[in-house]
A and B are shown apart, each in its own frame.
Chain A
Amino acid sequence: DAGVTQSPTHLIKTRGQQVTLRCSPISGHKSVSWYQQVLGQGPQFIFQYYEKEERGRGNFPDRFSARQFPNYSSELNVNALLLGDSALYLCASSPSGTSVETQYFGPGTRLLVL
């Protein structure tokens, strides 16, 4: 079975630009979560979506937004990029996104903001 997939794998942007990252969950999983991992730190929760509804949001500014599509894939958008947005962006999926479940992570998208 295919795991969680993310695209693109790498991305270079300049300050002020906008970026869209994509994630496809494991087949049958209805929940997608996004995490940001800055170099040398652990992942930080950004969003969780379940059945196309935002279920939770971390401590990130409004420049970060996301959505989930009817096929449960998801996009993360970041506007007005800052140098500090440079990070590995990880997507995770699970059947229903509850705290009792294992979350399965994709390979990540590495974003570099110059």
Chain B
Amino acid sequence: SQQGEEDPQALSIQEGENATMNCSYKTSINNLQWYRQNSGRGLVHLILIRSNEREKHSGRLRVTLDTSKKSSSLLITASRAADTASYFCATASNDYKLSFGAGTTVTVRA
């Protein structure tokens, strides 16, 4: 079973717009990570936010974490065609595995 659930399942935006996707999870976590996957290939790590952090930035990415609501959001600002991909949140608890959601597919239109 999947720990995280992303919302929406799919997102289509115009180049230059912002894209926001959300992730909800069920159990307590050590950290939450966001990954990008292009065309069914390998996962690229985007950002890791620890359970005691509330917000983190990396370039055009902004991630928030609300442990009381067991939710996280990923914001991509000023989107580009190259941002077209599937985005996954993954939670890490005190065991050794990452638990992934089903992902959000983002399409950036030129």
CB of A108 closer than 8 Å to a CB of B:
yes
Q: Cβ of B45 and Cβ of A43 under 8 Å apart?
A: no
Q: Cβ of A56 and Cβ of B2 under 8 Å apart?
A: no
Q: Select the stretch in A65-73, A78-86, A94-102 that faces chain B.
A: A94-102
Q: Which residue of A lies closest to B9 (CB)?
A: A40
Q: Cβ of B31 and Cβ of A99 under 8 Å apart?
A: yes
Residues of B in contact, count (CB < 8 Å): 28
Q: Cβ of B98 and Cβ of A45 under 8 Å apart?
A: yes
A interface residue count range (under 10 / 10 to 19 / 20 to 34 / 35 or more): 20 to 34
Tell me the residues in window 62-92 of chain B with beta carbons closer than 8 Å to chain A beta carbons.
Answer: 88, 90, 92
Q: Cβ of B97 and Cβ of A58 under 8 Å apart?
A: yes
B94 neighbours in A (Cβ, 8 Å): 99
Q: Cβ of B96 and Cβ of A100 under 8 Å apart?
A: no
Q: Cβ of B100 and Cβ of A42 under 8 Å apart?
A: yes
Q: Cβ of A56 and Cβ of B97 under 8 Å apart?
A: yes
Mark contacts of A19-58 with chain B using CB atoms, 8 A cut-off: 1 yes-contact digit, 0 otherwise: 0000000000001010100011111110010100001101
Contact partner, B98, options A88, A103, A106, Cβ 8 Å: A103
Q: Cβ of B43 and Cβ of A48 under 8 Å apart?
A: no
A39 neighbours in B (Cβ, 8 Å): 40
Q: Which residue of A lies closest to B45 (CB)?
A: A102
Q: Cβ of A99 and Cβ of B96 under 8 Å apart?
A: yes
CB of B20 closer than 8 Å to a CB of A:
no
CB of A64 closer than 8 Å to a CB of B:
no
Q: Cβ of B42 and Cβ of A97 under 8 Å apart?
A: no
Q: Which residue of A lies closest to B5 (CB)?
A: A42
Contact partner, B88, options A42, A97, A103, Cβ 8 Å: A42
Q: Cβ of B97 and Cβ of A33 under 8 Å apart?
A: yes
Q: Cβ of B45 and Cβ of A100 under 8 Å apart?
A: no
Mark contacts of B35-79 with chain A using CB atoms, 8 A cut-off: 1 yes-contact digit, 0 otherwise: 100001111110010100000000000000000000000000000
Closest 3 CB pairs of A and B: A42-B100, A45-B97, A99-B92
Q: Other than the known A90-B43, A99-B95, what 13 A-B pairs have Cβ atoms closer than 8 Å?
A: A4-B42, A33-B97, A35-B100, A39-B40, A40-B102, A41-B2, A41-B103, A42-B90, A43-B90, A102-B48, A103-B33, A108-B42, A110-B40
